[in-house]
């Protein structure tokens, strides 16, 4: 039987690379994973212009966890740009692990994986694929549960999570790619005392201040232009900053200022995507 899973991306409130503590929120750009069990091999395909290594590792992690002999065929369609800081890897790994686990559980009459088991297997696969530095527990949990998560990435613990209000999200994507696994960690760790300030703001649920401060700090460290951020803020943005290790800049807006912010961001080379927050997370769907 074929199954279908939807898994959303997420945007950064506080990047955990510098300190090990992070925060993120779900966004309504997603991946759709479809799959069914097969006789022997793991076969993966996608519309993404990339290797299927992460997908294969995710499926293998689940098969090994259950200790069954089976193959699986999986296809992923993604609306999330790769290498842009919008948790495309977390969304993909959450989706493929959830899908494979559900297929195996039903076929072999085995207990379903818990939420924590799914997230941890997805992170383990991402680390093996070298698409993440810290495991991106903040991104993974925001993608899986939706809403906002505030996390200890080192211990893989959620400090707290909650729904986020329905804001307009504008994502400026310049014509550059920034792969998390290629970043200079030591350089980013120099920012840790200031990133701690951003994390303290997130813990106080002052998410807009945290997102903006974090984004400016990491933009400076990674060499990204902060002018689009300042332009968005000057035009009424509630918050604006670099997501992940870039290159996307995520801006949160109310309806009154959205068009002005969209106009100014669209004046820069690249693309601007309009979306909303996601409070749903990774779920099975029917079509």
pLDDT digits (tens, 9 = 90+) for 225-258: 999 999 999 999 999 999 999 899 999 999 999 9
User: What does the block give as tokens for 260?
Assistant: 């002005």
Give how far Cα 248 sits from Cα of 144, 199, 233, Å.
21, 20, 16
- How many other CB atoms are there within 10 angstroms of residue 29's CB atom? 23
Tens-place pLDDT, residues 205-225: 999 999 999 999 999 888 899
DSSP state of 130: T
Q: Say what the pLDDT of residue 287 is.
A: 60
Q: Say what the pLDDT of residue 181 is.
A: 44
Report the C-alpha gap between 6 and 94 in whole angstroms: 9
Q: Say what the pLDDT of residue 60 is.
A: 97
Tens-place pLDDT, residues 157-182: 999 999 999 999 999 999 865 544 44
Report the C-alpha gap between 200 and 198 in whole angstroms: 5
User: What does the block give as tokens for 216?
Assistant: 């400016």
Of 62, 144, 45, 76, nearest in space to 104 by CA: 62
Report the C-alpha gap between 100 and 166 in whole angstroms: 31
Report the C-alpha gap between 251 and 272 in whole angstroms: 10
Mean of the per-residue pLDDT values for the chain? 94
Whether 266 has a pLDDT exceeding 50, the answer reads yes
User: What does the block give as tokens for 58?
Assistant: 């995710």
132 contacts 180 by C-beta, under 8 angstroms: yes
Report the C-alpha gap between 261 and 267 in whole angstroms: 10
The structural domains of the chain, ordered by start, are: 3-162 (3.30.230.10), 168-276 (3.30.70.890)
- Going across the sheet that includes 239-242, the strands are 239-242, 249-253, 168-173, 271-276
**Helix, strand, or coil (residue 214):** helix
Which stretch of 154-158, 188-192, 196-200, 267-271 has the lowest confidence by average pLDDT?
Answer: 188-192
218 contacts 132 by C-beta, under 8 angstroms: no
């Amino acid at each position: 039987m074929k199954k279908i899973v939807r898994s959303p991306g997420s945007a950064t409130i506080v990047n955990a690379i510098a300190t090990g503590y992070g925060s993120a929120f779900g966004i309504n750009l997603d991946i759709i994973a479809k799959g069914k069990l097969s006789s022997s091999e793991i076969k993966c395909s996608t519309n993404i212009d990339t290797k299927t290594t992460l997908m294969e590792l995710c499926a293998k992690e689940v098969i090994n966890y259950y200790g069954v002999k089976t193959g699986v065929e999986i296809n992923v369609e993604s609306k999330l740009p790769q290498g842009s800081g919008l948790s495309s890897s977390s969304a993909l790994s959450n989706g493929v692990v959830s899908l494979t686990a559900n297929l195996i559980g039903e076929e072999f009459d085995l207990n379903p994986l818990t939420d924590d088991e799914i997230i941890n297997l997805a992170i383990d696969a991402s680390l093996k694929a070298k698409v993440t530095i810290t495991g991106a527990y903040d991104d993974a949990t925001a993608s899986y549960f939706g809403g906002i998560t505030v996390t200890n990435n080192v211990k893989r613990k959620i400090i707290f999570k909650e729904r986020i209000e329905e804001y307009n999200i504008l994502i400026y994507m310049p014509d550059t790619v920034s792969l998390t696994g290629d970043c200079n960690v030591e350089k980013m760790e120099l920012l840790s005392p200031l990133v701690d300030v951003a994390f303290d703001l997130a813990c106080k649920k002052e998410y807009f201040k945290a997102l903006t401060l974090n984004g400016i700090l990491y933009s400076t460290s990674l060499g990204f232009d902060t002018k689009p951020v300042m332009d968005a803020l000057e035009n009424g943005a509630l918050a604006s900053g670099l997501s992940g290790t870039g290159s996307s800049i995520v801006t949160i807006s109310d309806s009154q200022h959205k068009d002005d912010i969209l106009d100014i961001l669209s004046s820069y080379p690249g693309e601007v995507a309009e979306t909303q927050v996601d409070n749903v997370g990774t779920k099975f769907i029917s079509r």
